[in-house]
Amino acid sequence: MATMTAAQRREQARREYDAFIKGCPTNQLLDRLSDKWVSLVVSALASGPMRYSDLGRKIAGVSPKMLTQTLRALERDGILTRQVTPSVPVRVDYELTPLGHSLALLLMAVKDWAETHIEQVHEARERYDAANEEQAA
Amino acid sequence: MATMTAAQRREQARREYDAFIKGCPTNQLLDRLSDKWVSLVVSALASGPMRYSDLGRKIAGVSPKMLTQTLRALERDGILTRQVTPSVPVRVDYELTPLGHSLALLLMAVKDWAETHIEQVHEARERYDAANEEQAA
DNA sequence: CAGCATCCCAACTGATACTG
DNA sequence: CAGTATCAGTTGGGATGCTG
């Protein structure tokens, strides 16, 4: 295998880099936050525990599938706890752990940045788009 | 149209919520950060300007398509600037704007959180997985 | 009430080849 | 060197119907 095409070499590099990225804590976290529903669930629970259907109602538009999937992932990561009360009908409460609350704090920092700078971003976009429309014409 | 199925009602709610989310600065920002390559590009440029192919090399495994796509999006958002020098061959430099640098700072905050807490997350995962394997057995 | 299993479609990704 | 155009593969997410 002395001969390796450029494609093969690049693919290997990609694989190694993927492994590197997956091992990087920052990217693991960004992967989590990137999930459309994670930030919403964490924000919703920041003010206190909630039941499954309450979450479903507060986060309008989420399908049961995604809600469960998100909650399970966050439970696995130790961000929240799942408390089942075996009554009839069943009752399930979700609550943030201390780790979860600390994540909520980080989320606030992100929120602050976003609200402080979003205006600049929008202005930049308008400038960019305006400049581009001239090209099209 | 007095009769609306549950599915239709939910879909409408989803659409409205999508619109709401898209208008929310925090989610706009998270959408950007969530992009696999954005954080890498911003980090790479945090220490100084770079040329297109330098970025391609530093961020091993990125395809030209994704690199260009990422750079264009960030340029549009005012995160970085694109400087073309019409020599032969062409030379293009990318550099973070002040806004971009402030974003890099936020990225550092995320990184700090990740590195501080990733251990807890991993422990939580092991506990969760261990508890689950018992179920399987 | 809380959740799982299944199917399915759309969107994004990445490889490849070509251009100014 | 710095991209663009095109195409195929993979995945994510929603709809739906059913269970403890």
pLDDT in tens, A43-81: 999 999 999 999 999 998 899 999 999 999 999 999 999
C-alpha–C-alpha distance, residues A58 and B83, integer Å: 46
pLDDT in tens, A83-136: 999 999 999 999 999 999 999 999 999 999 999 999 999 999 999 999 987 666
Query: Is the CB of A58 less than 7 A from some atom of nucleic acid strand C?
Result: no
User: Which one-letter amino acid corresponds to residue A64?
Assistant: P
Q: Which pLDDT score is estimated for B9?
A: 67
User: What domains does chain B contain, in order, with CATH numbers?
Assistant: 1-34 (no CATH), 36-136 (1.10.10.10)
> Other CB atoms closer than 10 Å to residue A75's CB: what's the count?
17
Nearest to B60 among A13, A77, A107 (CB): A13
Measured between beta carbons, which residues in chain B are less than 8 angstroms from residue A56?
Answer: none
pLDDT above 80 (res A137): no
* Most B-contacting residue of A17, A20, A30 (CB-CB within 10 A), to test interface: A30
Nearest nucleotide to the CA of B36, by C1', is C13
Query: Is the CB of A41 less than 7 A from some atom of nucleic acid strand D?
Result: no
Instruction: Please state, for a pLDDT cut of 90, what percent of chain A lies above it.
Output: 69
How many Å apart are B84 CA and D9 C1'? 35
Q: Which pLDDT score is estimated for A1?
A: 47
What's the helix, strand, coil split of chain A in %, to 5? 70, 10, 20
- Copy the structure tokens of residue B64: 């030209």
pLDDT in tens, B56-67: 999 988 999 999
Measured between beta carbons, which residues in chain B are less than 8 angstroms from residue A21?
Answer: 36, 40
In terms of C-beta density within 10 A (0-12 exposed, 13-18 middle, 19 or more buried), how is residue A101 classed? middle
Residue B59 contacts by C-beta under 8 Å, 6 or more apart in sequence?
A17, B37, B40, B41, B44, B67
- The segments of chain B whose pLDDT lies below 50 read 1-2
On strand D, nucleotides with any atom < 7 Å from a protein CB are 1-6, 13-17, 20
